[in-house]
Structure 1
Amino acid sequence: MSTTNPQASLPAADFHEVIKSRRSVRKYDPDFKLTDEEIKELLTTATLAPSGSNMQPWRFIVITDSELKQKLLPIAFNQEQVVAASAVIAVLVDLQAYTEAPRIYGKAVEAGYMNEETAAKLVENMNRFYGSLPQERALQSALIDGGLVSQQLMLAARARGLDTVPMAGYNVDQFRELLQISDRYANVMLIALGKAAQPGHPTVRLHVDEITHWNGFNV
């Protein structure tokens, strides 16, 4: 088992190097283990991501238990990173996250970022706006926020010398049944997290001029 502190190993990572060095890694060192506290630090950094009205709809299921990983393996189409990585992070979104508005804005009041009158008004606005959103619109909004926090988690991991791979290839229905997830929550992705046994292969990107349009969209 590795005893290296990944946060200490890369204390001042260059932002551009973090972005350039991130790879989708599928081969992990099964002997490398992250502590619960190290994973919580990564998630804390990830949750600095922006979200609509600061409602922070993301919810995480951290899977480190070996037996649970084995149950997840066939659900994830036998992708070996599920059992070899130190953890699998399931990113979900709460479709009723707006009901947390009193707690979120209450914390903002405690921190001195707003007064109680402003907080109360914002809570009222959130209940009125999000409470009346069609389900499809609410899901779309939440999934955007879920994507933002997922990317931030992967970059936070890379900044600490760790590796990840986002996974959409799994049986969502079976996963939800295994973890007993209610309809209030929607799946975003799974993220394998650990230390690479083999580096992810480099990839190419389309040139920015091929994908960017200025002041219109002429295709």
Structure 2
Amino acid sequence: MTKNIMSKEEYLNKAKELNVPLEKPKVLNDTDFITVAKERRSVRQYDTEYVMTEEEIREILEIAIQAPSSSNLQPWRFLVIQDKQTQQELLPIANNQQQIVDASAVIAVLADIEGYKNAERIYGELVNKGIMKNEIKEPYVASILHNYGNFSAEKALSVAMIDGGLVSMQIMLAAKAKGYDTVPMGGFDEAKFVDAFNVPENFKPVMLISLGKGTKAGFEKVRLPLDTILTWNKF
């Protein structure tokens, strides 16, 4: 006989009904990287009254975009959804996950499959700063435009999505270091999201990230032992 498995949302709702105490997210006294990485959790319950300023959100994103990317092309794009009515519009598209409307903001991380077209701007700035010689920049940019421009649709999407994942993790770590909580979400209707939010054709959804002041901590982390996932040199 198959036993029903309770989802995280169902568990949180049941705990609320039964008045089971759930710990609040930990306030970090030390924000060194190792502490932040260990203490970050996926938080689904937020202070609905807490309002983050645009400056606070921008500060987190400024830190996040220090992430690495393929050929430094930085193909990530962000749609910050902070207006409460707009969050309500997103709610059914995101499978009615309550954190969509309870969090201070939702960051839609998008991958620009035409991000390589910014190569001249990016590497031109390196020349302006004296970091790269123009005679090196010119053939390098030409190579990027040729190679990336001839990627198959699948390859272009794969590269951009990997970079989107890198910056997404950086957003969540930066948020935790700044005293905020997050949860990444892949459970949403991408086609409906693209249509409802007028997403340009070359921007592909990576994930949604709720951002705000958590009221209940996420689940304690349980990870597979390292030796079960680690192989040295060759399989």
Aligned length, in residue pairs: 209
Change in CA separation of 1:11 and 1:23 when aligned onto 2, cut-off 3 Å: closer
TM normalised by structure 2 equals: 0.86
Residue 62 of structure 2: aligned partner: 44
Residue number among 121, 129, 135 corresponding to 1:103 in the alignment: 121
Residue 16 of structure 2: aligned partner: none
Could you give the per-residue CA deviations for residues 116-146 of structure 1, whole angstroms, max 9, x where no partner exists?
2222122101111101111101111111100
The correspondence of residues 1-219 of structure 1 with structure 2, limited to 5 A, is 13-217=31-235
Q: RMSD over aligned Cα, in angstroms?
A: 1.3
Mapped contact 1:10–1:160 kept (Cα < 8 A): no
- Residue 110 of structure 1 deviates from its aligned partner by 1.7
Change in CA separation of 1:29 and 1:108 when aligned onto 2, cut-off 3 Å: same
Distance 1:49 1:11 in 2: 24
Could you give the per-residue CA deviations for residues 130-179 of structure 1, whole angstroms, max 9, x where no partner exists?
01111101111111100000001100001111100000001111110111
Change in CA separation of 1:141 and 1:168 when aligned onto 2, cut-off 3 Å: same
Instruction: Describe the SS at the equivalent of 1:68.
Output: helix
Please, which runs of 5 or more residues in structure 2 have no aligned partner? 1-26
Instruction: Describe the SS at the equivalent of 2:130.
Output: coil
- Residue 40 of structure 1 deviates from its aligned partner by 0.7
Between the aligned residues of both structures, percent identity stands at 50
TM normalised by structure 1 equals: 0.92
Distance 2:67 2:201 in 1: 24
Moved more, 13-22 or 110-119: 110-119
Tell me which amino acid in the other structure corresponds to 1:156. A
Tell me which amino acid in the other structure corresponds to 1:17. T
Instruction: Describe the SS at the equivalent of 2:184.
Output: strand
Distance 1:199 1:58 in 2: 28
- Residue 32 of structure 1 deviates from its aligned partner by 1.2
Distance 1:169 1:126 in 2: 34
Tell me which amino acid in the other structure corresponds to 1:52. S
Extract structure 1 runs of 4+ deviating beyond 6 A. none
Distance 1:206 1:126 in 2: 39
Please, which runs of 5 or more residues in structure 1 have no aligned partner? 1-8
- Residue 10 of structure 1 deviates from its aligned partner by 6.5
Mapped contact 1:27–1:84 kept (Cα < 8 A): yes
Distance 1:136 1:54 in 2: 20
Instruction: Describe the SS at the equivalent of 2:61.
Output: helix
Could you give the per-residue CA deviations for residues 42-98 of structure 1, whole angstroms, max 9, x where no partner exists?
111000000000000000000001110010011111111111101100000110111
